[in-house]
Amino acid sequence: MWVEIICALAIYKLVRLFFSNDDFSDVETSDSTALFSVAHRLEKVYGGKAYVGLRIPDADTSSRQDIDLVLVTNGQVEVVGVKNLHGIVTVTSDGSWVCEGGKHHHSTHTYPDPLAEVKKQASVLESYLEQRGVTLPEGSISCKVVIPNPNFRTMHAFPSEVITYEEWQHLKPVSRNILSGWVKGAFSSTGKETQDSPHQKLNFVLGSAPVWDRVELKNSKIVLGEFLEFKGKEEDTSALRHIKRSKVDRISIQQTSMLGFAPTRLQVLYSYRDYRSEGSSGSETKEVTVRSSTEVVFQPRDSEKIKKFKLSSILSVSLSA
C-alpha cells in the first residue's frame, strides 16, 4: 500500500512540475536576493548592522534615492551598491558598464558608472541624516560596489572601491584598531550607550528610514518592490481588506499539508504597526483563513513587469510605512 502512495505522490509532483505556474521563474537569480546575501556576509565579516533596500528622500530632486544597502560598524558608514551582473562587462569612456551575454544570452545592458552612482547616493544619505539630526564626521562615510555573481567577466582593472567576485570570495575584515576624536567617541561601542548616543541615533534613523516592501518566498528567495493589492475570490479579498500599509507592517503565511499535497486554504497572520515602539511590530496579531490560490499583486523593484505571487508560495510580506 505504501508503495502505491509513494508512486502516486511522485506522479503528482511531476504533474505539478510541468503544468503548474512557476511564481519564481523571473526571480531565480533575483537581484533582491543577492542584496540580502551580500548584507548577511558583510555583517558576518565586519560586524555591525546592514540596512537593505533604502528609499531615501532627495530634497534636490523631490524624489527618492534607491540605496542597495548601508552597513554601519564601529567607526564607519559604508554605502554599498550591489551589481549582480552575469556576462562580459566592458567600461566605456564615460565610466558606464556594458554587460553582454547576461542571463538570457545575446542581450546587452548598459549601466551608468556604478561607483559614481553610489557616491551620489552617499551624498543624498548624508544630507538626509543631517536633516534628521545625525551629522557624520568627515571621513566616516565610504562607498563600495560589490559584484557577487560568479558569472561576471571583465578585462578591465577597477578602482579599489569596486569588489569583484574573486575579491568578494576572499573578503576579510579590515583592522580598525585606531579610532580617533569624534569617530571614536561617537561610534565605538562602550556598553553604556544611551538611546540618545550618536551611534544609537544613527541606527534608529536608518532603521526608521523609508524602504521597499519585501516578499519572502518559500524557495528562500526575496523580492523587493511595492505591494499593490490582493487578488482572488471576493470572499477572500474581503477577509483581507483590513491589511493596509498604514496599519499593518508584517504578514505571515501559515500552511499545512498532508503527505506533500498542497492545502486548499491557509492562514494569514498580520501584525499591526506600533508607532509607539519606534516602528517595531506591536503585540496585536490577527488571523484570517483564505484560499491558497489568493494572490499578492507586487511590483518588483528591478522589473517593469507586475508579478502575482500565490499566497501558497509566500512565507511573509513586510510593508513599509
Q: Quick check: is 233 in a domain?
A: yes
User: Are 77 and 173 in the same domain?
Assistant: yes
User: Are 60 and 171 in the same domain?
Assistant: yes
Q: Quick check: is 166 in a domain?
A: yes
The alpha helices in the chain, defined as continuous H runs, are 2-19, 31-46, 114-131, 165-169, 181-187, 198-207, 234-239
User: Are 173 and 231 in the same domain?
Assistant: no
Identify the pLDDT of residue 138. Answer: 86
Angle at alpha carbon of residue 292, lines to 286 and 297, rounded to 5°: 80
Q: Concatenate the DSSP letters of all residues of 202-225 into one string.
A: HHHHHHTS-B-EEEEETTS-EEEE
Residue type, 134: V
User: Are 74 and 197 in the same domain?
Assistant: yes
Domain count, the chain: 2
User: Are 153 and 23 in the same domain?
Assistant: no
Identify the pLDDT of residue 196. Answer: 60
Cβ neighbours of residue 191 closer than 8 Å, sequence gap 6 or more:
none
Check pLDDT > 70 for residue 294.
yes
> Of 146, 179, 207, which residue sits at a domain end?
207
Q: Quick check: is 40 in a domain?
A: no
pLDDT in tens, 188-245: 444 444 456 778 899 999 999 999 999 999 888 999 999 999 999 999 999 999 999 8
Identify the pLDDT of residue 239. Answer: 95
Q: Quick check: is 35 in a domain?
A: no
Q: Quick check: is 121 in a domain?
A: yes
What is the rounded distance in angstroms from the CA atom of residue 174 to the CA atom of residue 181?
20
Q: Could you tell me the residue range of the domain that residue 79 belongs to?
A: 47-207
User: Are 202 and 218 in the same domain?
Assistant: no
User: Are 83 and 126 in the same domain?
Assistant: yes
pLDDT in tens, 237-278: 999 999 998 899 999 998 765 555 667 889 999 999 876 655
Average pLDDT over residues 27-45: 83
User: Are 153 and 287 in the same domain?
Assistant: no
Q: Quick check: is 41 in a domain?
A: no
User: Are 224 and 303 in the same domain?
Assistant: yes
Cell of 252: 505571515
* Nearest residue to 37 (alpha-carbon basis) of 67, 73, 68, 64: 68
Q: Quick check: is 74 in a domain?
A: yes
> Of 191, 207, 223, which residue sits at a domain end?
207
SS3 for 152?
A: strand
- The predicted model scores a pTM of 0.80
User: Are 116 and 251 in the same domain?
Assistant: no
SS3 for 184?
A: helix
Q: Quick check: is 312 in a domain?
A: yes
User: Are 219 and 203 in the same domain?
Assistant: no
> Of 207, 236, 260, which residue sits at a domain end?
207
User: Are 75 and 184 in the same domain?
Assistant: yes
